[in-house]
Amino acid sequence: MTGAAPDNSTAPLEVACYRATPHGAGAVAMIEIVGDVSSCLTALCGRDVEVGGLRLRKFESIDEGLVARLAPERAQLMPHGGTRIVERLAEWLSAHGAHWIDDPLAARAELDPMEIFPEAEDRVEALALATMARAASPLAVQLLLAQRERWAAHGSAPVTADDHARSARLMRLVDPARVAIVGLPNSGKSTLSNALLGREASIVSPEAGTTRDAVSARIDLAGLVVEWFDLPGMRATGDEVEASAIELARGLVADADFVVALAAPGIPWSDIGRVPDLRVLAQIDRVPADARAAACAGADLAVSAVTGEGIAELRAAIRDRLVPKDDRLSQRPWIFDPRLAPA
Ligand SMILES: Nc1nc2c(ncn2[C@@H]2O[C@H](COP(=O)(O)OP(=O)(O)O)[C@@H](O)[C@H]2O)c(=O)[nH]1
Ligand SMILES: [Mg+2]
């Protein structure tokens, strides 16, 4: 940019922006701006930042922070993360004509990934970095990093129906699968969910009907992160709130990618309206050694949330059923973005 700074009292900025960090206080916040970034930076900071540059700048009289100029039409403003500072910066942008993007994820998805990740060596790597930014599972990272080489080795060879099927399963490393745990009241669903999660997210009580709403949390199953639903026990009930929760639970079971059925000593398998993917006998610590074989009949696995027995095996079993090891170890390229190979 040359010449005088634009007079912003008469010329609104031609930029769109969105908050790239969550609302609420943090050490540093980030607002991404797209469009006529040069004019915006000149008005806000007194001068522009060169493309590729990372500079410390004053944001008017509001704050001082970093500006990362990712591309001619794209920059990130990184003020301190105090809520009032971010609000004032947002107010300044609005007052100068900036337009706020409603759905930044959708807006970002439409961008050329090479523009978002100028450091990427090629398009596959840029797409991999974009996918990594939203991938839920630690296991996704190594696999995504390997894709540039895989696709390079693959060249222009055709992708097969098998590649598409395997790729779809591998997408569970990016978008968490929905896993529901179902069983009669007191089979131990909430206690087991808490043990897997490692903190108290559900209410555990010997009083049946304590878990009235479906409680969901992201749980790491040995590298695979899933959306885990602890559902209320399916039983006939006169309680209206509990009845509607059970109705909701039936819907979640029908939609789930994976269903774990739970039974416990003295608490049989329940009718869940579909064939479960895994049958688990809980509370195995309550079964004397000589009665175990009989107690475990019909179960794929036995666990105890109290002693921890079988918990690691349970994590691995669900992980390997959702994203089989053969898929993870395959040397074929992974279609982790539809732009790599249209279906
Ligand atoms: N001994 C033992 N008790 C358990 C175990 N898991 C759950 N319980 C107990 O069984 C009762 C019901 O557990 P809860 O998780 O609320 O069952 P839910 O109704 O299926 O969610 C509680 O008193 C728990 O403390 C376990 O692995 N071992
Ligand atoms: Mg419960």
194: domain CATH number? Answer: 3.40.50.300
Q: Specify whether 155 is located in the same domain as 275.
A: yes
Q: Specify whether 267 is located in the same domain as 175.
A: yes
Ligand 1 pocket: which of 181, 182, 186, 237 to mutate (most atoms within 8 A of CB): 186
DSSP H or E run through 75? strand 74-78
Give, using CA atoms, the residue closest to atom 4 of ligand 1. Answer: 283
Residue 273: the pLDDT is 84
Q: Specify whether 103 is located in the same domain as 129.
A: no
Q: Specify whether 201 is located in the same domain as 332.
A: yes
Of 109, 140, 171, the residue at which a domain comes to its end is: 109
Please count the structural domains in the chain: 2
| 324 CA → ligand 2 middle, Å | 29
Q: Does 187 contact ligand 1 (Cβ within 6 A)?
A: yes
Of 87, 109, 131, the residue at which a domain comes to its end is: 109
The amino acid occupying position 152 is: A
Domain membership of residue 21 (yes or no) is yes
65: domain CATH number? Answer: 3.30.1360.120
Give, using CA atoms, the residue closest to atom 12 of ligand 1. Answer: 186
User: Is 295 in contact with 281 (CB distance < 8 Å)?
Assistant: yes
Q: Does 194 contact ligand 1 (Cβ within 6 A)?
A: no
CA 233 to chain centre: 27
Q: Can you give the pLDDT of all 343 residues of the chain as single tens digits?
A: 444 444 445 589 999 999 988 888 888 999 999 999 999 999 999 999 999 899 999 999 999 999 999 888 999 999 998 889 999 999 999 999 999 988 877 777 677 777 777 778 899 999 999 899 889 999 999 999 999 999 999 998 999 999 999 999 999 999 999 999 999 989 999 999 999 988 655 555 555 555 555 567 889 999 999 999 987 766 666 777 777 777 777 888 999 999 999 999 999 998 888 999 999 999 999 999 999 999 999 999 999 999 999 999 999 999 999 999 999 999 999 999 998 987 6
Q: Specify whether 81 is located in the same domain as 149.
A: no
Q: Specify whether 45 is located in the same domain as 139.
A: no
Exposed e or buried b for every residue in 30-61, given b needs 16+ CB within 10 A? bbbbbbbbbbbbbbbbeebbeeeeebebebee
Question: What is the number of the ligand closest to the CA of 204?
Answer: 1
Radius of gyration of the chain from its Cα atoms, rounded to whole angstroms: 26
Measured from the CA of 206, which atom of ligand 1 is nearest?
Answer: 23
Sign of CA dihedral 192, 303, 180, 219: positive
Residue 196: helix, strand or coil by DSSP? helix
Give, using CA atoms, the residue closest to atom 14 of ligand 1. Answer: 188
Residue 161: the pLDDT is 95
Question: What is the number of the ligand closest to the CA of 281?
Answer: 1
Q: Does 22 contact ligand 1 (Cβ within 6 A)?
A: no
Instruction: List pLDDT tens digits, range 35-93.
Output: 999 999 999 999 999 998 999 999 999 999 999 998 889 999 999 988 899 999 999 99
Q: Specify whether 143 is located in the same domain as 192.
A: yes
